[in-house]
Chain A
Amino acid sequence: MATGYAPSSMYRSREGMGIWEHKGKVAAVGVGHSPTERRWDERPETSVGAWSIMALRNAIADAGVEPDHIDGIVIVPETTTGAFWPDDKPLPQDVINAFVQTDDPLDGVAKLSVEWLLKNMPELTNINYSVYAPVCMSNALNVAAQAVGDGLAHTVLVLKAWHNLEGRYYQGGQNAQDAIGGTSAIRSLWGAPACYGTALQFAEYCRKYGKDHDMMTPFIINSRRNGLMFPEGYWAQHRPEELTPEDYQLARWIAKPANLFDNDIPIMCAASYLFTTAERAKDMKQKPVYVLNHVDSDAVPRGLTPTLDEVEAECALTGRKIYEGAGITAADLSFENMYDGFTQFHQFHLEGLGYRGIGFGDALDFYQTDISIEGPNPVSPSGGNIGSGRSRFWMHTDSIQQLQGRAGGRQITGVNAEIGVSGGPMPLGGNYTVWSATPD
């Protein structure tokens, strides 16, 4: 079975498409996670392949379905956090030998294919639909929802996994070389780290609206607090440390005005969800969480980096598409779990949504109010990447668990969990899912 990337026709990218034709007819039921680790220790049992299998099996068990009932799988084949297997490093033969291997020796080590997973999960005997989604779980969820809605498969596993190798983030490869290719050079010669573009947008935002970096403090503290109540997350598992305002405000700069805590921490981890039809979901072990809509942002900036005007226009468009396809308004959102990995664009997502009535330039003031899970305006109850490490999937797990009433210590209490939205990553170029406790 050859697996290719999802066609563009599966994404809802345009405004004016109306209510999603499968609104409330697709549901997420099972959730499965691997453990987390800062970096791979190069043992077979902690490889990205092994943890992917673990996450998939956990999702299957959580949903309470038999593996042979599953007929579809959607995965993200890219697993890097920015670390790539060095060309001059010997292949990890003991890891390769521990699994049934494909033709690519780095499959299951520094990338992932459907072929590798199916070779190593013989219990998945009835997969007849498989497709790749690029980059993020957010994208894969859109594809899985559409696939189930379109009847391409009725019970689908969705997977995203991350590997993180030894060495500092993005410091190897061409960044360590004396000379680089001309196309890369046009963007990268000036040495801007990954958070730079977002830091620029934030700098312009602060100038335009009269805000400052310290106003981010309540959001950062709230995110870490929520993350420490996420038992699947990195900080809860390995470094259960609350953050103080001083921790944040005095942290070293990475690309001013973005500091250390405005960046997420790259980690090893994997997560999987089980999607199925609303009809089949009724008989599964967990309460169904219905998909009301999914949305794609495919905007491309004109220049090297998006301007604030471009960001605000795209976030507003994304908000309108989210509501249009779900047939809801901002007032219907119980909570939001938009992406935060860099912290400094979360406010763009909030403002684009008009969450709790805020507009552009309002979010940092909103952060000074009660944004906790106990209050009426919960912001990022998952804690996001800032609260649990770079996965870009905590917000989806949390949204599902909130609506199932099993978010544990993170369960929002100031408002009933009825409808939520999650997605990302970037304001230009992201994918979003609207979740609901009921199908309509």
Chain B
Amino acid sequence: MKQGVIPDELTAPFWSAANESKLVIQNCSRCDRLQHPPAQDCGQCKSGENLEWKEMNGTGHIYNYGVVHDCPIRLLQDDQPFNVAVIMLDDDPGIQMYSHLPGTPVDDVPVGAAVEVVFEKSANGQKIPEWKVVN
């Protein structure tokens, strides 16, 4: 079980959207550039004036993965070993998200495979974006 999430000012739109089963990513409208994790300023123009949240289409590909056998987070330790993959979004492959790849056997990860976003509940009910391999 993933830890619960207490949204903060910076990330509240991301987590609110997740609770509505939507994936949004911070975007600088001036640079037309997505960034994740969100930040107070655009990583390119360094201004926070033009930051907004943009809905993604919810598809991506598996870029890479590792198998975690010694996890520092207490709530996840009963689930070891587990996959932690890096997903690159189809909207912009420069945007990465982590995933446990629910439904994919441990250490049998199809690198490069297409995935789609799903939302699963964490320990306090906050929904979390996750990713499943598209068959």
Write the residues of chain A forming the contact surface with B, with a CB cutoff of 8 angstroms. 168-171, 175-183, 185-194, 196, 199-200, 203-204, 207, 252-258, 300, 302-305, 307
A362 to B76, CA, bound (A): 37
**Does B28 have its Cβ within 8 Å of any Cβ on chain A?**
no
Task: Give which listed residue, B3, B74, B94, B99, contacts A171 with CB less than 8 A.
Answer: B74
Q: Which A residues touch B100, using CB under 8 A?
A: 190
A180 to B5, CA, bound (A): 5
6 pairs, CB–CB < 8 Å, chain A vs chain B: A180-B6, A182-B11, A182-B12, A187-B37, A190-B99, A194-B72
Q: Which A residues touch B84, using CB under 8 A?
A: 190-192, 196, 255
**Does B55 have its Cβ within 8 Å of any Cβ on chain A?**
no
Distance to closest chain A CB from B77 (angstroms):
8
Task: Give which listed residue, A187, A196, A207, contacts B68 with CB less than 8 A.
Answer: A196
Distance to closest chain A CB from B54 (angstroms):
16
A189 near B122: Cβ-Cβ < 8 Å: yes
Interface residues of B in 84-134 (CB under 8 A from A): 84, 86, 88, 94-100, 107, 111, 122-124, 128
Distance to closest chain B CB from A209 (angstroms):
15
**Does B48 have its Cβ within 8 Å of any Cβ on chain A?**
no
Write the residues of chain B forming the contact surface with A, with a CB cutoff of 8 angstroms. 2-8, 10-12, 14-15, 35-38, 43, 63-76, 81-82, 84, 86, 88, 94-100, 107, 111, 122-124, 128
The chain A residue sitting closest to B99, CB to CB, is A190
Task: Give which listed residue, B4, B11, B95, contacts A303 with CB less than 8 A.
Answer: B95
B75 near A303: Cβ-Cβ < 8 Å: no
A192 near B98: Cβ-Cβ < 8 Å: yes
Distance to closest chain B CB from A419 (angstroms):
36
B124 near A179: Cβ-Cβ < 8 Å: yes
Q: Which A residues touch B38, using CB under 8 A?
A: 183, 186
Q: Which A residues touch B64, using CB under 8 A?
A: 200, 203-204
Q: Which A residues touch B6, using CB under 8 A?
A: 179-182
A255 near B69: Cβ-Cβ < 8 Å: yes
The chain B residue sitting closest to A207, CB to CB, is B111
B68 near A193: Cβ-Cβ < 8 Å: yes
Q: Which A residues touch B71, using CB under 8 A?
A: 191-193
Q: Which A residues touch B86, using CB under 8 A?
A: 200, 303-305
B3 near A185: Cβ-Cβ < 8 Å: yes
B122 near A193: Cβ-Cβ < 8 Å: no
**Given A192-B84, A302-B94, A303-B36: A254 and B5 interface contact (C-beta under 8 Å):** no
B65 near A200: Cβ-Cβ < 8 Å: yes
Q: Which B residues touch A177, using CB under 8 A?
A: 3
A186 near B122: Cβ-Cβ < 8 Å: no
Distance to closest chain B CB from A82 (angstroms):
9
**Given A183-B10, A183-B11: A192 and B68 interface contact (C-beta under 8 Å):** yes
**Given A180-B4, A300-B43, A304-B86: A253 and B65 interface contact (C-beta under 8 Å):** no
A302 to B122, CA, bound (A): 27
A171 near B95: Cβ-Cβ < 8 Å: no
A169 near B72: Cβ-Cβ < 8 Å: yes
* Centre residue among B10, B71, B75, B94 by max chain A CB count within 10 A: B71
A300 to B35, CA, bound (A): 12
B69 near A253: Cβ-Cβ < 8 Å: yes
Q: Which B residues touch A182, using CB under 8 A?
A: 5-8, 10-12, 14-15
A18 to B99, CA, bound (A): 44
Q: Which B residues touch A256, using CB under 8 A?
A: 66-67, 69, 81, 107
B70 near A253: Cβ-Cβ < 8 Å: yes
Q: Which B residues touch A188, using CB under 8 A?
A: 73
| Interface contacts beyond A187-B37, A255-B84, A300-B43: sample of 17 additional A-B pairs, CB < 8 Å, sorted by A | A170-B72, A175-B73, A179-B3, A181-B6, A182-B12, A183-B11, A189-B128, A190-B99, A191-B68, A193-B71, A193-B72, A255-B66, A302-B94, A303-B86, A303-B94, A304-B86, A305-B96
A183 to B64, CA, bound (A): 23
Task: Give which listed residue, B35, B43, B68, contacts A255 with CB less than 8 A.
Answer: B68
Distance to closest chain B CB from A308 (angstroms):
8
The chain B residue sitting closest to A189, CB to CB, is B2
A257 to B64, CA, bound (A): 12
Q: Which A residues touch B37, using CB under 8 A?
A: 183, 186-187, 304
The chain B residue sitting closest to A300, CB to CB, is B43
Distance to closest chain A CB from B20 (angstroms):
16
Nearest 6 pairs between A and B by C-beta?
A179-B4, A303-B96, A182-B11, A191-B71, A191-B76, A256-B67
* Centre residue among B68, B82, B99, B122 by max chain A CB count within 10 A: B68
A189 near B5: Cβ-Cβ < 8 Å: yes
A196 near B4: Cβ-Cβ < 8 Å: no
Q: Which B residues touch A203, using CB under 8 A?
A: 64-66
**Given A255-B66, A300-B43, A305-B86: A179 and B5 interface contact (C-beta under 8 Å):** yes
A123 to B112, CA, bound (A): 62
Q: Which B residues touch A253, using CB under 8 A?
A: 67, 69-70, 81
